[in-house]
Amino acid sequence: MKSRCNSLRCLKMRRIRSKDPIVIVAVFVSVSCFLVLILSVFRLPDVSFSSNGSMTSIKVKKVNKFPDKSGIIGKFGSMMIEMLPVDLSFTVFVPSEMAFERDLRLRVNDSLVGEKANDTYAILTRVLSFSVVPWKILSESVPYNEETTCDSLSGFKLYVSKDVDGMLVVNRVRSQRVDIRKGEMVIYVMDGVIMEAEFEQSVRPNDDEDED
C-alpha cells in the first residue's frame, strides 16, 4: 500500500514539474503584453471628456520633432504636428502660417515671446483637437463632388470633399497642399483654421484693437 502511495505521489510531482515551463511561458507572455499596453497608453494623447461624454480637449506630449525645412507648414503647424505620436495613423489639417495670422492673429515673432507663449500653446492644442482625424485620409481616396463626414479628436464634425483640382475642402476651408507624409501621418496645409463656432468666438481678434 505504501509503495502504491509513493508511486502516486511521484506521478503527481512529475505532472506538476511538467506544467512549470508552460506556467512560466504564460506569465512571461502576460507580463510582456501588459508592458506593451502601458507603453502604448503613455504614447497616446490624453483626452478629457465633458459631462455629456463627448471629447472636449486633448492634452498632448511632444514625442517627435518636425523640422519644416521647406517652410511649407510653418512654425505653428510644426508645433501642432510635434504634439502627436509619429508612429500612429493621423490626418492633420494644419492652418497655413498666413491663416494663423489672419484668423487668430498669431505671429511667430510676437506670439511665442514671454507670457504669450503659454496662451499660444493652449490655442494650438485646442485647434489641434478640431483638426486631427485618428486615421489616414489620402486625397485620392476622397471622391469628387461628394461629402464625407468624420469626427476629429474632440468629436467635432468634419465635412470633407474634393475639388476638381484635387484640393480638399474641410468645413469650407480649402487646402493649399495635400498628402504631405510624416511617418504614419498625412498632413494637409489649409487656407484657414478649422474650429467650432464657440471657440472661434472666444479667440476672434478685436477689430478695434487692430485699428489702434
Q: Which residues, 6+ apart, have CB-to-CB distance to 72 below 8 Å? A: 177, 180, 189
Residue 56 pLDDT: 41
User: Mean pLDDT by 10-residue block, N- to C-terminus, for the chain (212 residues)?
Assistant: 50 51 50 45 40 41 50 90 90 96 92 91 95 95 92 95 94 96 94 93 67 48
Residue 91 pLDDT: 97
Classify 69 as helix, strand or coil: coil
Q: What span, in angstroms and rounded, lies between the C-alpha atoms of 130 and 45?
A: 14
Residue 41 pLDDT: 40
pTM, rounded to two decimals = 0.66
State which amino acid sits at residue 16.
I
Residue 72 pLDDT: 86
